[in-house]
Amino acid sequence: MSTPEESDVTGSSFAGTATINVSDLTQYLLCPRLVYFRAKGYEQDRIVKGKERGMIERILLKELAFNLDTLSGGKDEVGVREREDGEEEGEDARSIIDDIVDDIERIYKEELEGVKRDLIVAVKRDIVCGVGTDEWLRKVKNGLLAVEEAQGYEREQMVVSEKLGMSGSVDKLIRIDEEVIPCVIKTGRCPEFSVWRSERVQLAAYAMLIEEVFETTVKRGFVEYIRTAEFRELQIRKKDRALALQILKRVKRIKRGAFPEKGVHAPCDTCSFIARCETRKTLLSKLLGM
């Protein structure tokens, strides 16, 4: 069950000095120039034209992940969810998604500005066909839900490190005995084995933040692929920490003004900065006589 906190920020006295967010590290892996243009103050489009459906899917699935504990009649932040008369256990996910649709326009007001509600409802209808099945529910209950029901979690806990100059919002912070374990929610496709490279970096970064704030050692993290109800446990290795720290240093140089190379798999087709990126490339070519 998620636990409300008195403050949304742990280590909040450092909040003004930590300028690098864990999301900057994952953006760097996608394309370093995303970090550069964001650091310059240029805003990304909240809704990429033609990609509205995907954004709504991500929002709905993430909110569903925050409400997994109600699937078995468990408690959430406001208590026990009452089941409707005649409602079967397998219908919980559908009912919860209905509730989420009613709420997301207020929770994600900025992100969904300009999106028609008809599209939100249509996306919800498609998602219901993929989740809430017996197989999906079985995998959910045998995976992360078993941990959450026993231990509870804290939703979107912000942790800040003055030493690293970095902060981040952990999707779920799970405590098992003396352990403090970061869990990230992913709404995209799940790898056949283990987790994606960017998720290793993300969890390693969260681990180092948690270790400083809670004065503990973080040995593992969880990744929850909500779309397919896959739950992966990851041992956080030295090489993951080293890579996260290396990227952190590169991000800091970019934020000081260094213009980076484009990422190998940069999403240029959907990038809000493509025009600025090409303009900057042209100016550099002229300056270098290329």
> Rg of the Cα trace of the chain?
20
Other CB atoms within a 10 A radius of the CB of residue 217 amount to 12
Angle at 169 between CA 164 and CA 175, to 5 degrees: 95
CA dist., res. 216 & res. 209, Å (int): 10
CA dist., res. 28 & res. 38, Å (int): 11
Which residues, including other chains, have CB under 8 Å from residue 157's CB and lie 6 or more apart? 5, 8, 10, 169, 170, 173
The backbone region for 285, taken as left when phi is positive above 0, alpha when psi lies in -120 to 50, beta otherwise, is alpha
Kindly report the pTM of this predicted structure.
0.84
DSSP 8-state symbol, 64: H
The helix/strand/coil state of 36 is: helix
CA dist., res. 187 & res. 70, Å (int): 19
pLDDT at position 110 is: 84
CA distance from start to end of the chain: 59
pLDDT at position 11 is: 58
CATH architecture of the domain 9-255 equals Alpha-Beta Complex (3.90)
Amino acid occupying residue 266: A
What CA–CA distances, in Å, run from 224 to 1, 112, 115, 254?
A: 16, 24, 27, 31
Per-residue pLDDT of the chain (290 residues; tens, 9 = 90+): 444 343 455 654 444 444 799 999 999 999 999 999 999 988 776 555 667 888 899 999 999 899 887 765 555 555 444 545 554 544 566 777 778 877 888 888 888 888 888 888 888 888 877 776 788 888 888 887 887 777 788 999 999 999 999 999 999 999 988 899 999 999 999 999 999 999 999 999 999 999 999 999 999 999 999 999 999 999 999 999 999 999 999 999 999 999 999 988 888 888 888 888 877 655 555 455 44
CA dist., res. 170 & res. 208, Å (int): 12
What CA–CA distances, in Å, run from 141 to 1, 102, 223, 227, 230?
A: 14, 25, 15, 14, 11
User: Where do we find the tokens 């030493």?
Assistant: 163
CA dist., res. 68 & res. 229, Å (int): 11
